[in-house]
Structure 1
Amino acid sequence: MRRIDFITTEVQSVKWFMDRIKHDTLIIDQSFQRKFVWRIKEQVRLIETILLGFSIPEIYIWMTETDPDTGESTYSLVDGQQRLTTVKEFINGKFKLHSGYLDDEESTIYANKYFSELDPEDKKAIWDYPFSTRVIKREIREEDIIKMFLRLNSTDKQLNPQELRNAEFGGLFIKLADEISQHPFWEKYRVFSSSQIRRMTDIEFISQILIFLREGITGETTQKYLNLVYDKYNEKYDEYENDKKNFLKMIMELDKIMEISEENADFFSKRTHLYSFLIIIYFMLEKGLDISEYNEKIGNFIIYYNDKTDDLNISKDEKRLVSDYRKYVQEGTQSKARRIARVRLLKSYLNI
């Protein structure tokens, strides 16, 4: 039989979905989409659409098992996380229908209201709203579910390449990147905004550093190459623990430098500098150098980079190296050649 023969179309109410989420019989599967993404404007527009009675794109759920005694089925949410999470949060009073985001004249009666403030008939309209639902039978394999999710979202501008990788690869490489992303370092210095974290920018950046640990400074960081590396280390990653140990050492040493001054912290919170100096710290650790002995030199680098002041213990050659580094930052950050050049200049400046 074809895959489509194992997919049925049903109509399920908001109440049906909310009950199953509440009782853990509908699981929002993080192996497909890791984090909630929608902004408040998009959330308000969805609730407005429901209240006006307009249609919403289909929800896809996968029937994973059925209790033989009760007949109760458990489902995994394949596509529709943003919609269902939005409805759940609105019902739970997490946001109101901001008037500035409502798009239709008919909606003025809902302006600035929480769910609890809606008229009884409007509340019922939300509970009863019919979602067109594609139910995928348990006979469909998980790898086919992943392919389906990728096809559903490959042209969706709301999903970036890293979010699609998260759905396609659930193995060791992304597991390590996710584990490192939980380290307090990132939040302490606000390297990534909350929206960037939701869009998995942090995971992608950490993956690029892990690529350096595996492939060296000449390793690519393009989206295509990231996909290849994710695939290569998805099931077998012998260096997992060693890379984890090295990465944590690198951010621990950089943390010490960032704590010296606010200027240091601000400088390294920019990802271009963060990437370059994490690589430099790796080389310093490999050589067994005492990184604290370089604190003044690194501090002078940052001051001259920011201000070009002459009132520093810094030679003409060192000033030239800082200026060249600045040029490679301004010309672009993602190019492999520029990335290598920045690291080379830092090595020369620090004489390592």
Structure 2
Amino acid sequence: MDLAAADLSSVGVRMDQSSPEHYPIADFLKWHKEDSILLNPQFQRGSVWTPAARTYLVDTVLRGYPIPKILMRTSIDRASHRIFREVVDGQQRLQSIIDFGNDKLILGTRAGNFAGKTYSTLPEELQMKFLAYKITGEQLINATDDDVLEVFARINSYSVPVIEPELRNAAYDTDFKWSIYNKVRQWHDFWGLGVLSQRERVRMLDQSLMAEMYGVIMNGVTDGGQPRITKLYKAMTHFPDQTEVEQKVDDVLEILTRQILPNIKGEALCKAPHVLVLFAAVANEMFGIPAGDLELTNTERHPGALSRIDLAVENILFLNDVFKSDDPPANWQRFWRASKTTTHRISSRKVRFEEFSRALLPVHIGG
């Protein structure tokens, strides 16, 4: 069949779709003023954005970072020669942008140095940058409701399923969540050591690891796993000890990032499950951590720990060799098995915590 000459309805083609186009925000403000664009709540997915989320979106625009594209159903009125656009995906983004452009949104603390600003109180150069910022849009021309639903179904059918760290990032808007978010970005040198892969970081597993580090400082070593991390996020509706916890996390990461982990970069023990337990051991020797799910004797501090970083590095290199061995010595079988088994369980973490704590002492553990 010559498809070009065929009746398109006979082969299931029911709508036209434009190529992606880039529209400046000024266009959207103009269309909104002229009532030629509709933010259709009928297709809105999820709850209405919080003020913090709206602020963060505008901050993203002002700093020139990209935002996701939007989908618009476009209809052409032949009598009036007018084009009407109906936003079917991206309503909350556009509503936030339009409200800011019309001075109906005051930026909150998530906007950093833009906090407290409205559009009219921005410097002129930033106003121009905001208006000129281009949003990518796809037009679904003369699409029916069924067409739009079909588009959503197809997008979701080949999208990567959302995992728990991504759900947490969307669900929580607390000081705890944002502290973790900012701490992850602060410690780019730490991530550069290969603790997580880039693919894992894209899926926000860096925030999971950082959250567990916060949990170690606040609650000690416990069972792990994504549900346990989510429970921590849920419990942290308030964060009164934020400054103290952040400082302790920084102090431990300073030692790990600058003095210990560079020596095992790329090695087996320089991966998230083991680095977390090493973090706990270092934190305990520096200032003590709560007992958590460990026995109390395991959280006692040891005199002289961390006094010889060079020996600590040698010991951790030895433990790395044990971990990689196919047939470790009998007295290291327990550590070897704990490092190979389900590493988020407390039974595994307890054994590794004990050996990492010994490794921080000024003695050779492999002699």
Tell me: CA distance 1:166–1:322, structure 2 relative to 1, closer, same or farther (3 Å): same
3-state SS of 1:333 partner: coil
1:305–1:326 Cα contact (<8 Å) kept: no
2:304–2:361 Cα contact (<8 Å) kept: no
Which residue number corresponds to residue 173 of structure 1? 176
Q: Structure 2: 5+ residue runs without aligned partners?
A: 1-14, 30-38, 40-48, 61-67, 69-87, 106-133, 146-154, 288-300, 363-367
1:186–1:192 Cα contact (<8 Å) kept: no
Question: Is 1:208 matched up with 2:212?
Answer: yes
Tell me: CA distance 1:205–1:260, structure 2 relative to 1, closer, same or farther (3 Å): closer
In structure 2, how many angstroms separate the alpha carbons of the residues matched to 1:192 and 1:291?
25
Question: Is 1:59 matched up with 2:62?
Answer: no
Tell me: CA distance 1:279–1:285, structure 2 relative to 1, closer, same or farther (3 Å): same
Which residue number corresponds to residue 12 of structure 2? none
Question: Is 1:272 matched up with 2:273?
Answer: yes
Which residue number corresponds to residue 233 of structure 2? 230
In structure 2, how many angstroms separate the alpha carbons of the residues matched to 1:282 and 1:15?
54
1:181–1:206 Cα contact (<8 Å) kept: yes
For residue 293 of structure 1, the aligned residue among 308, 322, 325 is: 308
| CA displacement at 1:237 relative to structure 2 | 0.4
Matches within 5 A, 1:71-150: 128-130=139-141
Tell me: CA distance 1:130–1:187, structure 2 relative to 1, closer, same or farther (3 Å): farther
1:279–1:343 Cα contact (<8 Å) kept: yes
Q: How many residues align?
A: 244
Query: Given the two structures, how large is their TM-score scaled by the length of structure 1?
Result: 0.54
In structure 2, how many angstroms separate the alpha carbons of the residues matched to 1:334 and 1:133?
49
Q: Structure 1: 5+ residue runs without aligned partners?
A: 1-10, 36-42, 44-57, 75-87, 92-125, 135-151, 310-317
| CA displacement at 1:179 relative to structure 2 | 1.5
3-state SS of 2:173 partner: coil
In structure 2, how many angstroms separate the alpha carbons of the residues matched to 1:279 and 1:212?
6
1:276–1:339 Cα contact (<8 Å) kept: yes
In structure 1, how many angstroms separate the alpha carbons of the residues matched to 2:142 and 2:103?
20
In structure 2, how many angstroms separate the alpha carbons of the residues matched to 1:327 and 1:16?
53
In structure 1, how many angstroms separate the alpha carbons of the residues matched to 2:359 and 2:98?
64
Identity in percent: 12
2:285–2:306 Cα contact (<8 Å) kept: yes
3-state SS of 1:18 partner: strand
Tell me: CA distance 1:228–1:293, structure 2 relative to 1, closer, same or farther (3 Å): same
3-state SS of 2:91 partner: strand
3-state SS of 1:334 partner: coil
1:304–1:319 Cα contact (<8 Å) kept: no
1:185–1:251 Cα contact (<8 Å) kept: no
Tell me: CA distance 1:19–1:277, structure 2 relative to 1, closer, same or farther (3 Å): same
Question: How large is the RMSD of aligned CA atoms in angstroms?
Answer: 4.8
Which residue number corresponds to residue 324 of structure 1? 334
3-state SS of 1:325 partner: helix
Render the CA deviation track for 1:267-307: whole Å, top value 9, x for unaligned.
Answer: 55311221111111101112585625143244134235326
Tell me: CA distance 1:339–1:128, structure 2 relative to 1, closer, same or farther (3 Å): same
In structure 2, how many angstroms separate the alpha carbons of the residues matched to 1:162 and 1:133?
35
- Name which one, 1 or 2, has greater alpha-carbon Rg: 2
Question: Is 1:347 matched up with 2:357?
Answer: yes
In structure 2, how many angstroms separate the alpha carbons of the residues matched to 1:131 and 1:344?
66
